[in-house]
Structure 1
Amino acid sequence: MVSFILSVLALIVGYFLYSKVVERIFGIDDKRITPAYSKSDGLDYTPMGWIKASLIQLLNIAGLGPIFGAILGALYGPVAFIWIVLGCLFAGAVHDYFSGMLSVRHGGEQFPTLVGRYLGKYVKSVINVISLILMILVAAAFTAGPAQLVEQLTPLSYSASLLLIFVYFVLAAILPINKLIGKIYPIFGLVLIIMAVSIGFALFFMDHSIPNITLENLHPGEVPIWPLLMVTISCGAISGFHSTQSPILARTLKKESDGRKVFFGAMVAEGIIALIWAAAGMTFFGGPDGLQGALANGGAAGVVNEISKTTLGQFGGILAILGVIILPITTGDTALRSSRMILVELLSKFGKFDTKMKTILMTVPVVIPTYLLTQMDYSFLWRYVGWTNQVVATVMLWTAAMFLLQNKKFHWICSIPALFMTAVTGSYIFYAPEGFHLSYGTSMICGSIIFVSVLAWFIYQLKRNKNTNIPLDNVA
């Protein structure tokens, strides 16, 4: 119990202290006109207050990610608390802040374009493809589950449920951000917070106490902590999907100082939500063995439903249904909206179109493959989301590191977590079943080779920029 409380406090204190350090290193200037005003178009570029923007950002980046991922991560035991706290403060929140603020600085640019600015056009080309694949996979994975639950709870068939969800997706992707997302997301964001806080209080009254932090691996399946825990718990620690979502809100900030509250703050809130659900998973079923049995019977959704109903009664049951149906849908819709924005930015050089026509035309190419993927097994989709997600996060951290390095700023706040995530993703893809599925030892050797290669590239960048005296920051 003490470890859990200290972990929550560490995130809260970390927000008030470390976020200001990161903000100071980035160097905000509230005299700059933000894209919300300089490019106001009534669609994506629309000024919005920081409280509403923070709630929308939280729902964009969270959904069921910090719930399902944290529950699966709870199988490893309380070592998950360490990863959530350190990952959230020093990697995830920094990642989210720079993905948002670099977009603000460069006129609301999307993630792949930012990557191109600081890592080159070849990396941009690759990340354009990976980003679109990630968002389509996320949207598909977070659509199939809710549609199945709607089928169970209502007279609607699975196909009819999917159709209704996709009608909403299209509307969310093409309507002005303040017409639909801006009105309902703050409400659903509060639902997510109330759900987590309610479970958090219930933890103090469970039959089993929350275990204290230990480095011991308690996973019943004897699955190694490194690097699997860092991919299992992404939302709540660090998630590359966030870098595709932050530019949505970057186009709405009224001033640069709002970025710390919107981007860094939403990530810390997500980290606290992940801590609560990880603790609930470790505690409610009496330990990792009991949790594994519950997951085998009803999956993560079943675990959420059982914990919510048992601890909070009918109110918990309502929250669970809202959570399992609504929250993943609100992740899927902004994934498609962001995909549409990336495609518009990518293809704008080939010609100018009417804004409304361009919006509709760029929505179709992402909606169709997403719908087709919903016909596949959810678990199959989710396996590929994990690794793709963390590759995108790693690239974003390197993008931020190069921005700081080129501008003679303290780049270590980004380059150290970038190196760490390089090691994670480099070793994971060789070991994971959805990757090369090699032995653990061989995977660690291959991952080390990738890490050393990237480290050598970074040392070269350090030497090259050491002799550059003029900052290279080309702000829009």
Structure 2
Amino acid sequence: MATFMIGLVILIVGGFIMGKLCDHVFQPDDRETPAYAKQDGVDYVPMPTWKNALINLLNIAGTGPILGPIQGILFGPIALITIPIGNVIGGAVHDYFAGMICTRDGGAQMPEMVRKYTSKTVFWIFDVFVCLLLLLVGTVFIYTPGDIAATQVFHLSGSPTEFSTWVIYGTIFIYYLVATVFPIDKIIGRVYPIFGAILVFSAVGVFVAMVVGHYPLVELWGNWGTQAFDYGAYFKSGHFIPIFFVTVACGILSGFHSSQTALVARTIKSEKDGRMTFYNMMAVEGFIAMVWAAGTMALIQFTAKSGGITMQLDKGVWQYMIQIGNELKPITATSVVGVVCRKALGPVGGAIALIGIIILPITSGDTALRALRLTIADTFHIKQDNNQRRLSLAVPIFVLVGAILVWAKFDKEGFQILWRYFAWSNQTMALFPLAAASIYLIINKRAAWAWMTLVPGVFYTFVCASYILNAKLGFGQSWNIAYIGGVIVSAIYLILVLWRGKKGGFTPVDTAK
């Protein structure tokens, strides 16, 4: 437990220091925000800090900071230190500058920000990644809540050959299709605070259970080769960089967040609210990720015989196993969520947490697919002024989502592959706002602080490039070639960002004195 607590101190103390530094560099002031300057009662609406912070947390948090850490903890206790460090200097910095720059630019959205600070060519590349990410978000957020509902709520097998599995998927699918065409999310939006409370309840509840129950966790300085699982062997063979950072994703850094902070940029009353709304809410997501990583490790150490999880190697793939009667049964990573909830929170608390964890991704998946339809429509100037036109664009999107879902369900490694490509596109998308933020700092005479966004940008360029160069569904190169290629691509990214920053090319938007 000591390693976890050290990580928590890094997250809290490091987050406080880095958050203050972000404010020092950006220099938020008392100028009129877009919420007042463009107030329209629809998108530009002044809202209190607590509400903006909660909305932003709900927008950025779903199953991402839960399922990623559940899989990433197999790399060992280093995950409990890497998550908070990466969150403090990477993800939270990314969210802060994306939200604050969009606020100062009059409530601009991410495509506008990327186009303004980079180039039209980069904007088009960004547009492709936005569409890819939204497509995968929609698919993942049918798969994960559907699996959790099937296996943990209705106690079904969740097997791809079971009719019940596809009935549950189909129900979510139909809701998404309706929500993509009609503004049904406004109904769900009224109960978002309840879902947020459940999300926090589940994380805090698991944390308290670990502390009070003295859950067994492997320490960073201890023996990683435990009888329950050899984390050391997994770490050595698993290519920690880039696989861990692609797998954990949302708890450390998420490109999707920039699209959500840009929305909140239109509702904050003061620029001085930015640190709480943008930076601190990402830190909360880091805490959620740490708790679920530690909770999963504890269950592995308990083993299935004691109500936890046993890891078994099956044809080169590590499988989560639980004990039913005298027999070990395989479960998916999504089903691990239910095991953690019930072990830590009991039957009632576990059920409440599961309901929230099921609903949260659904309320994110529908908006992702709607955003995909609108992005395609805006890019190709396709009118969306009636239901027939909206439906004609939504149907092809859903056919593609359905095909990916079927493949992921029937392929034994389907979910892991789907998750990693979702996470990879998510991380790749983050490179664009990080580049734009670096350029913003340079042209506004804060080049000395550009390292704050350049460091995570360059590092994640290496992660994303090396991963896709090696991946079978990517370029299929050896790891040596992938790593060399990652270094080259990272160097190009750094050079282009610095060149564009020094070139400038327009009047700086920051008029602070």
Tell me the TM-score normalised to structure 2 length.
Answer: 0.81
Report the residue type matching 1:430 in the other structure.
L
**Aligned counterpart for 1:430 among listed residues 442, 456, 469:** 469
User: 1:416 corresponds to which residue?
Assistant: 455
Percent of residue pairs identical: 35
**Aligned counterpart for 1:382 among listed residues 400, 419, 422:** 419
Report the residue type matching 1:339 in the other structure.
L
Tell me the TM-score normalised to structure 1 length.
Answer: 0.87
CA deviation map 1:418-460 (0-9, x unaligned): 1111121121112233322322222111212212222333453
User: 1:81 corresponds to which residue?
Assistant: 80
How far 1:234 sits from its partner (Å)?
1.0
In structure 2, C-alpha distance between the alignment counterparts of 1:214 and 1:354, rounded to whole Å: 61
Q: In 2, are the aligned partners of 1:131 and 1:244 still within 8 Å (CA)? A: no
Report the residue type matching 2:281 in the other structure.
A
Q: Matches of residues 456-475 of structure 1 in structure 2 within 5 Å?
A: 456-461=495-500, 464=503, 472-473=508-509
**Aligned counterpart for 2:285 among listed residues 270, 278, 285:** 270
User: 2:160 corresponds to which residue?
Assistant: none
How far 1:406 sits from its partner (Å)?
1.3
In structure 2, C-alpha distance between the alignment counterparts of 1:291 and 1:70, rounded to whole Å: 17
Residue 321 (1) aligns with residue 354 (2)? yes
CA deviation map 1:142-183 (0-9, x unaligned): 112323454565699455544543454467667779943542
Q: Which stretch has the larger CA shift, 143-152 or 338-347?
A: 338-347
What is the DSSP-based 3-state SS (H/G/I as helix, E as strand, rest coil) of the residue aligned with 2:249?
coil
User: 1:22 corresponds to which residue?
Assistant: 22
Q: Matches of residues 63-462 of structure 1 in structure 2 within 5 Å?
A: 63-151=62-150, 153=153, 157-166=164-173, 168-169=175-176, 179-180=186-187, 182-206=189-213, 208-214=215-221, 218-220=232-234, 222-286=237-301, 292-293=311-312, 295=320, 297-340=330-373, 342-343=375-376, 346=379, 350=381, 369-371=400-402, 373-378=404-409, 379=415, 380-409=417-446, 410-461=449-500
List alignment gaps of at least 5 residues for structure 2.
Answer: 157-162, 225-230, 313-318, 322-329, 410-414
CA deviation map 1:276-300 (0-9, x unaligned): 1111122221189966446262122
In structure 2, C-alpha distance between the alignment counterparts of 1:94 and 1:420, rounded to whole Å: 14
How far 1:415 sits from its partner (Å)?
1.1
In structure 2, C-alpha distance between the alignment counterparts of 1:72 and 1:137, rounded to whole Å: 18
In structure 2, C-alpha distance between the alignment counterparts of 1:460 and 1:288, rounded to whole Å: 54
Q: In the superposition, relative to structure 1, how do residues 35 and 96 fare at CA in structure 2: closer, same or farther (>3 Å)?
A: same
Q: Which stretch has the larger CA shift, 24-33 or 120-129?
A: 24-33
Q: Which stretch has the larger CA shift, 439-448 or 125-134?
A: 439-448
How far 1:375 sits from its partner (Å)?
3.4
Report the residue type matching 2:360 in the other structure.
L
List alignment gaps of at least 5 residues for structure 1.
Answer: none
In structure 2, C-alpha distance between the alignment counterparts of 1:120 and 1:104, rounded to whole Å: 20
Report the residue type matching 1:472 in the other structure.
P
In structure 2, C-alpha distance between the alignment counterparts of 1:340 and 1:440, rounded to whole Å: 37
Q: In 2, are the aligned partners of 1:245 and 1:334 still within 8 Å (CA)? A: no
- After superposition, the CA RMSD in angstroms is 3.3
In structure 2, C-alpha distance between the alignment counterparts of 1:435 and 1:295, rounded to whole Å: 27
How far 1:28 sits from its partner (Å)?
1.9
In structure 1, C-alpha distance between the alignment counterparts of 2:56 and 2:392, rounded to whole Å: 26
In structure 2, C-alpha distance between the alignment counterparts of 1:443 and 1:142, rounded to whole Å: 30
Q: In the superposition, relative to structure 1, how do residues 102 and 456 fare at CA in structure 2: closer, same or farther (>3 Å)?
A: closer
Q: Which stretch has the larger CA shift, 368-377 or 435-444?
A: 368-377
Q: Matches of residues 44-55 of structure 1 in structure 2 within 5 Å?
A: 44-55=43-54
What is the DSSP-based 3-state SS (H/G/I as helix, E as strand, rest coil) of the residue aligned with 1:374?
helix
Report the residue type matching 2:509 in the other structure.
D
In structure 1, C-alpha distance between the alignment counterparts of 2:397 and 2:103, rounded to whole Å: 25
